[in-house]
Amino acid sequence: MLEDKKQERTTLEKLGEFGLIEHLTQNFTLQQASSLMGIGDDAAVLDFTDNKTAVTTDLLIEGVHFDLSYMPLKHLGYKAVVVNLSDVYAMNATPTQITVSMAVSNRFPLEALEELYAGIALAAKAYNVDLIGGDTTSSKTGLLISITALGEAKEEALTYRNGAKPNDLLVVSGDLGGAYMGLQVLEREKEVFKVNPANQPDLEPYSYIVERQLKPEARKDIKELLGQLEVLPTSMIDISDGLSSEILHLCRKSSVGCNLFEDKIPLDPTVISSCEEFNIDSTMVALSGGEDYELLFTIDQKDFSKIKGNPNLTVIGHMTDANEGAHLVTRANSKIELTAQGWNSFTSEQP
């Protein structure tokens, strides 16, 4: 039940920028041997000895990448970290450190930012990464979060987008389309709430896909699994913008084509049922939905026996010569050219 007493709010101007950073990061401790100096000096100091360093960054903007009417701040903090770590895993590297910068308007009290950082701390602990720095400033347009993630890997283990060869198998982890359909459910319930604020939505039937949207996970386990199976992908990318977009990235960077088989695309039953409910084609959702943060990679055919039958991995196609192009092979065995229709933050309409 909701408490009657009004929640206490602490304005940010009471702390100031440095006081705010110190307050929000006071319980973060360094876990990585490569973290020599974290927060508290002019710059962090890292020592990766013989390993190579992978660096990635992502910017999340209120009203563009997230909607606080249904995204809890703790979930937002967690997700903001995870989407960056996913990029590190897509290099076949191990995340080690993050920096967190944010611009925040005066409508957010200290308690709200504590919730945000609770999510950041939860992700940092779950993925064993150190928070080593960042910045805070004011905003007149809401909340902006920028996270940079660093990781390390042996040079021979790093996997790029440009290593796929014709006849390599195209493999994906997990299942696709859940995050996009979770977003559709949340948007629908938001509109219902606008009409009737007393209405309490029942999200239980959609718990899997809603969690895929609000609290995704980076596929740390897949990197570990491939290591155990002694499989080194020839190319790899994470699925943030939709399957078709990511396949085309691999094709362009590797100068190859691809045949993707529609009947091989892994879909959770909840995704299929929700697509029927919303009258949306499930294949289109998998191709263009985005935000699944699964890993998409290619392997040499000789490694097929190592992954065959593994419940975490699905072979969904194979790479071809570049002049054959990139195609979806439908259930009716016809070929449709793959087009990138996934997320584009510079367009007003999304799939």
Mean pLDDT, residues 223-244 taken together: 96
**Which tokens is 238 given?**
């994470």
The first and second tokens of residue 221, run together, are 């386990």
Percent of the chain predicted with pLDDT > 70: 88
* pLDDT at res. 10: 75
Between CA 88 and CA 91, with CA 89 as vertex, the angle to 5 degrees is 70
Spell out the domains of the chain, with CATH numbers in brackets: 16-153 (3.30.1330.10), 169-337 (3.90.650.10)
Among the listed ranges 21-30, 128-137, 190-199, which one has the minimum average pLDDT value? 21-30
Q: 54-85 burial string, b = 16+ CB within 10 Å, else e?
A: bebebebbbeebbeeebbebbbbbbbbbbbbb
Residue 283 pLDDT > 90: yes
Q: What is the mean pLDDT of the chain?
A: 89
Q: State yes or no: pLDDT of 183 exceeds 80.
A: yes
Q: Which residue from 202, 209, 204, 294 is spatially nearest to 243, judged by alpha carbons?
A: 294
pLDDT at res. 23: 72
Whose CA is closest to 234, among 169, 290, 190? 169
- Mean pLDDT value of segment 42-67: 81
Are 182 and 75 within 8 A, CB to CB?
no
Burial class (CB in 10 A: 0-12, 13-18, 19+), 271: buried
* Residues 6 or more apart in contact with residue 348 via CB below 8 angstroms: none
Q: What is the pLDDT of residues 328-350, one digit of tens each?
A: 999 999 999 999 875 444 454 44
**Does residue 4 carry a pLDDT above 60?**
no
pLDDT score recorded for residue 346: 42
Query: Which of 21-35, 207-221, 223-237 is predicted with the least confidence, judged by mean pLDDT?
Result: 21-35
Give the residue with greater pLDDT, 288 vs 54.
Answer: 288
